[in-house]
A and B are shown apart, each in its own frame.
Chain A
Amino acid sequence: MAAYVLRRLALAVSVVLAMTLITFILGQVLPGDPARSAAGLNALPEQIEAARVRLGLDQPLFVQYLRYLSRLAQGDLGTSIFTHRPIVADLADNLPASLELVLVAMAMNVTVAIPLGIIAAVRGGAVDRVVRVAVLVGGGIPVFWLAIVSQLVFSVALGWFPLVGRLGDDVDPGTKVTGMLLVDTALHGRWDAWTSAVSHLILPASTLAFLFIAVGTRVTRASMRQVLREEYLTFARSKGVPERRVILRHAFRNALMPIVTIVGLQFGWMLSSTILVETVFGRPGIGSYAVTAVLQKDIFAVTAVVLVIATAFVVVNLLVDLAYLGLNPKIRLGSGTSG
């Protein structure tokens, strides 16, 4: 088991390192000149050259990359050419907002997709058909359209939820601890702010989760159906185990591996998909920050964002790999292949 964990950690670290190299190269390939962006629209040639030197862009690529790595090691992601602030500060403002959105959307995803998939697999017949059609339709709806329509229906027409933002205008968010409003307001016992934050999260999170629920349901259903055919379930029933335990304890538990894998991958995909939802719902986040960085040829910010999302992806999948240890005894006991 130790070997498995170490191998996984080593893989994770090398993936992140490879990402730094890839994003650095991508940054060089992006069209546009960052020195010119930094110097401003009306800049004279000497101002642009001065900016180039100041940003270290006149050095050979190899040197620039090494400097970049050494700063990374000290936790310095560089200074944004566009906002003139340390990128770590920019991310501290933007990343928690996206994380919060994704975590709530993921919670919605899991609480809807898994039961729905189980029901479809277990019940079969008409219920199964209805769920499959619903999933097909749901998976095909564009996020952007869904976002605007849900604003129209639930916010404007029905008035149930606020339209944009993370918090009501007259609500004070209080001191920032993690940057995630749900956590910070709860930590300080500010329940009025907490409810305001939750109500602002419902529409964006459910819009974001919609597409992923479709996929999650399908995977759960497929995995459950496969397991439901296994003979050990027949054996459990013949022993007199209640049906509920058969489904949840025996079948579902063994169907979990593909589901956990997909959910792990979905976390990364969700994080990258936040841009459309954030744009429509006027929320800050890593998505809009990334788009601005690309359009402004802010290579330091682009590289930092790609690196952060890639790292999040790697970390979540590392956790999934470690979860396999709990789910599959064969891996825990060291027999079998890498799992």
Chain B
Amino acid sequence: MGGNTGAAALAARLTASSLIFALAFAACGSSSSSQAAPAATAKDTLVIAENEPAQTLDPLQAGNSTVDELVLLMYSALVQYRPGESTPSNDLASSVDVSPDGLVYTFKLRTGATFHSGNPVTADDVKYTLDRIKRLNTGVASEIAPLAKSEVIDASTIKLTLSSPFAAFVPALSRIYILDSKLVEANKGSDDGQSWLAINDAGSGPYKLKSYEANVKAEFTRFDGYYGTPAKTANVIYKYIPEQATQRLALEKGDVDIAMDILVADYPALESNYSIVASDTNVQLYGYFNTAKGATADPKVRAAISYAYDYQTHVDSILHGYGTVAQGALPKSMACWTGDQTIPTYDLEKAKSLLADAGYGPGGKQLKLTVTSLTAIEEMDKAAQLLQAGLSQIGVQLDIKSVTFPQFVDLHKTIDSSPDIGLIYAFPSNPDPSAVLYINYHSRFIGNGYNWGNYKNPAVDKALEQAQALTDQSARCDLYAQVQKMIADDYVAINISNPKYVAVMSKYVSGYAYNAAHHQTVNAADISVGQ
């Protein structure tokens, strides 16, 4: 048909103009944010890329690293761990006095500390914070469960009484960030300030909150009235970039200075132009057996499986060398670790013979087990496959089930529903050994805490309780050594690896140091950016 040019030409013009329209605006817009790649961002701002946004800014939830990394900048606690230290230093507290029975802790507060609002930090604020935590009974409340009472003696003295001795009480206080009581009280609404603190700042830390857009970015600016060493960089921005490939692009473009979630596979490409900072952690990957039910209730089966895991391949191929093989239930980097315990190695012959002793394998029954792995955690995914491969070589069939963390917790509510093997990390909230051994191995936490192995050993329970109560560190270490040995003899879990924590940053960043007491955070106040 003739006359096609009319309609077609119009359509073509429409298409072309919309494209040009789009590009024109892009050109205008890009001038405000174009950068010569990869240059240093402005020296007065440190930009950090993080993949998982915080659920809230309320320090009540600082047990979670995504909250902790932000709260650490805005708030102070009575005591705090500096990067690299395994004992806490005084922060808001200037001294502590512990009664002989270990039940009463009297803290004296430093003078001259103020909150960002200008209100002075007093014992009332400490009491307010602790009372609120107890009232809400969630989040960090479990860190200070033995705390029974807090009393204000005077403006700079507070007396804390425990219901039972708790050796790691002072370490635990490093996660209890002190709130500006007057400010929170004025905004407490009907939920004890939770929805207000979710997006606001009531702290006394080196940085104050400048702006917060949930799931997008959090901006901080230096607090000039800070009682301690002023922060080195005037501004900090945490940018939430969920996709790891995009974090890499942002680093290469110069949009961010530190990227926290770059994939291991990308390190070789970035090595020459960026700093790949790998630090030892107190984190450990375990495969907890269900020690109370099924085939895994037999210690010989557990031992056999422990000898069928290729630990070195895990470190070399899965972690690409960024980590070490775990040495027992307690990470070797923590105080009171003992070498006096049986540490399984990759030995298929030994595994087969142990399995045969237990009645499984070629001569006996066929063993079929299930392992759970957390969805989208690459190390666990591959560990499950490595375990599957190893077990198939000794005639054991292993099914892999991918679950989310809430599902994992749910499965462990009862002994019957717990999986045969569950892959899980332990992230100790402070460097005290009880943060691993007591929390994961005391029988009171079966079904409602971190005792994923459903492990009940009265001798272990007793030793753990004693160690909780003593204050003499060497006596505690003796007890913990016994505990580690007993746990090793019982093969409660496959102790897999201690992955290193890796942050990739531009070469202009200096002062970064990993803090084992605050895993997955950045010590922004110590960092400077610039040539």
Chain A contacts to B: CB under 8 angstroms? 31-33, 36-45, 47-48, 50-51, 79, 82-86, 89-90, 93-94, 108, 111-112, 115-116, 118-119, 122-123, 148, 151-152, 155-156, 159-166, 168-171, 192, 195-200, 202, 206, 237, 242-244, 246-248, 279-284, 288-289, 292, 295-297
* Residues 1-27 of B contacting A (Cβ, < 8 Å): 1-8, 10-12, 14-15, 18, 22-23, 25-27
Q: Is the CB of A44 within 8 A of B145?
A: yes
Instruction: Find A295's partner among B53, B138, B404, B413 (CB 8 Å cutoff).
Output: B404
A296 to B56, CA, bound (A): 14
- 7 A-B contacts, Cβ less than 8 Å apart? A36-B406, A83-B56, A85-B56, A199-B25, A199-B26, A248-B7, A248-B10
B329 to chain A, nearest CB (A): 19
Chain B residue numbers with a CB within 8 Å of A43 are 138, 142, 448-449
Chain A residue numbers with a CB within 8 Å of B45 are 169
Q: Contacts A123-B4, A164-B250, A279-B243 given; 10 further ones with Cβ under 8 A?
A: A31-B410, A32-B406, A90-B214, A161-B30, A162-B30, A164-B241, A165-B216, A169-B45, A244-B7, A282-B246
A74 to chain B, nearest CB (A): 16
B310 CB within 8 Å of chain A:
no
A159 to B252, CA, bound (A): 12
B29 CB within 8 Å of chain A:
yes
B372 CB within 8 Å of chain A:
no
Q: Is the CB of B30 within 8 A of A163?
A: no
Chain A residue numbers with a CB within 8 Å of B55 are 82-84, 296
Q: Is the CB of B56 within 8 A of A32?
A: no
B359 to chain A, nearest CB (A): 34
Whether A247 touches B6, Cβ cut-off 8 Å, given contacts A36-B409, A48-B448, is: yes
Instruction: Find A164's partner among B4, B61, B239 (CB 8 Å cutoff).
Output: B239
Q: Is the CB of A44 within 8 A of B142?
A: yes
Q: Which of B115-123, B151-159, B191-199, B269-277 contacts A (4 or more CB under 8 A)?
A: B191-199
Chain A residue numbers with a CB within 8 Å of B35 are 159
Chain A residue numbers with a CB within 8 Å of B28 are 195, 199
Q: Is the CB of A156 within 8 A of B448?
A: no
* Residues 29-88 of B contacting A (Cβ, < 8 Å): 29-30, 32-35, 37, 45, 47, 53, 55-56, 58, 61, 63-64
Choose among B5, B25, B246, B439 the residue with the greatest number of A CB atoms under 10 Å from its CB: B246
Chain B residue numbers with a CB within 8 Å of A111 are 14-15, 18
Instruction: Find B29's partner among A195, A242, A247, A288 (CB 8 Å cutoff).
Output: A195
The 6 closest A-B pairs by CB, nearest first: A199-B29, A243-B3, A42-B142, A244-B6, A247-B7, A32-B406
Whether A86 touches B195, Cβ cut-off 8 Å, given contacts A111-B15, A119-B8, A244-B10, is: yes
Chain A residue numbers with a CB within 8 Å of B145 are 44
B236 to chain A, nearest CB (A): 12
A14 to B406, CA, bound (A): 34
Q: Is the CB of B138 within 8 A of A38?
A: yes
B143 CB within 8 Å of chain A:
yes
Q: Is the CB of B15 within 8 A of A284?
A: no
B139 CB within 8 Å of chain A:
yes
A120 to chain B, nearest CB (A): 10
Chain B residue numbers with a CB within 8 Å of A206 are 22
B420 CB within 8 Å of chain A:
no
Q: Is the CB of A83 within 8 A of B63?
A: no
Chain A residue numbers with a CB within 8 Å of B231 are none
Q: Is the CB of B409 within 8 A of A282?
A: no
A182 to chain B, nearest CB (A): 11
Chain B residue numbers with a CB within 8 Å of A108 are 18, 22
A33 to B417, CA, bound (A): 14
A44 to B447, CA, bound (A): 10
Q: Which residue of A lies closest to B18 (CB)?
A: A111
Q: Is the CB of A159 within 8 A of B34?
A: yes
Instruction: Find A47's partner among B47, B138, B213, B239 (CB 8 Å cutoff).
Output: B138
B110 CB within 8 Å of chain A:
no
Q: Is the CB of B11 within 8 A of A115?
A: yes
A244 to B10, CA, bound (A): 8
B249 CB within 8 Å of chain A:
yes
Q: Is the CB of A112 within 8 A of B249?
A: no
* Residues 388-407 of B contacting A (Cβ, < 8 Å): 404-407
Q: Is the CB of A288 within 8 A of B215?
A: yes
Whether A195 touches B246, Cβ cut-off 8 Å, given contacts A39-B138, A122-B7, A284-B214, is: no
Instruction: Find A116's partner among B15, B139, B237, B406 (CB 8 Å cutoff).
Output: B15
Chain B residue numbers with a CB within 8 Å of A152 are 249
Q: Is the CB of A122 within 8 A of B410?
A: no
Chain A residue numbers with a CB within 8 Å of B410 are 31-33, 36
Q: Is the CB of B138 within 8 A of A51?
A: yes
B255 CB within 8 Å of chain A:
yes
Chain A residue numbers with a CB within 8 Å of B214 are 83, 90, 93, 284
A60 to chain B, nearest CB (A): 21
Interface string of B252-280 (1 = CB under 8 A from A): 11010000000000000000000000000
Q: Is the CB of A164 within 8 A of B246?
A: yes
A36 to B404, CA, bound (A): 14
B104 CB within 8 Å of chain A:
no
B217 CB within 8 Å of chain A:
yes
Q: Is the CB of A163 within 8 A of B25?
A: no
A143 to chain B, nearest CB (A): 12
B338 to chain A, nearest CB (A): 26
Q: Is the CB of A199 within 8 A of B30?
A: yes
Q: Is the CB of B26 within 8 A of A32?
A: no
B514 CB within 8 Å of chain A:
no
A306 to chain B, nearest CB (A): 18
B330 CB within 8 Å of chain A:
no
Chain B residue numbers with a CB within 8 Å of A115 are 10-12, 14-15
Q: Which residue of B lies closest to A32 (CB)?
A: B406
B94 to chain A, nearest CB (A): 30
B102 CB within 8 Å of chain A:
no
Instruction: Find B37's partner among A86, A94, A159 (CB 8 Å cutoff).
Output: A159
Whether A118 touches B7, Cβ cut-off 8 Å, given contacts A32-B406, A280-B246, is: yes
Instruction: Find B195's partner among A85, A93, A122, A281 (CB 8 Å cutoff).
Output: A85
Chain B residue numbers with a CB within 8 Å of A198 are 25-26, 29
Interface string of B223-258 (1 = CB under 8 A from A): 000000000000001011111011001101101000
A272 to B214, CA, bound (A): 20
A87 to B513, CA, bound (A): 37
Chain A residue numbers with a CB within 8 Å of B63 are 40-42
Q: Is the CB of B30 within 8 A of A284?
A: no
A156 to chain B, nearest CB (A): 5
Instruction: Find B25's partner among A36, A90, A151, A195 (CB 8 Å cutoff).
Output: A195
Choose among B194, B199, B242, B439 the residue with the greatest number of A CB atoms under 10 Å from its CB: B242
Interface string of B132-166 (1 = CB under 8 A from A): 00000111011101000000000000000000000
Instruction: Find B11's partner among A93, A118, A169, A281 (CB 8 Å cutoff).
Output: A118
A244 to B405, CA, bound (A): 61
Q: Is the CB of A200 within 8 A of B8?
A: no
Chain B residue numbers with a CB within 8 Å of A163 are 246, 249-250, 253, 255
A168 to B439, CA, bound (A): 45
A14 to B352, CA, bound (A): 63
Q: Is the CB of A242 within 8 A of B6?
A: yes
B450 CB within 8 Å of chain A:
yes
A42 to B243, CA, bound (A): 29
B417 to chain A, nearest CB (A): 11
Q: Which residue of A lies closest to B194 (CB)?
A: A84
Q: Is the CB of A156 within 8 A of B449?
A: no
Whether A148 touches B245, Cβ cut-off 8 Å, given contacts A32-B404, A32-B409, is: yes
B312 to chain A, nearest CB (A): 31
Q: Is the CB of B2 within 8 A of A156?
A: no
A182 to B4, CA, bound (A): 38
Chain A residue numbers with a CB within 8 Å of B242 are 279-280, 282, 288
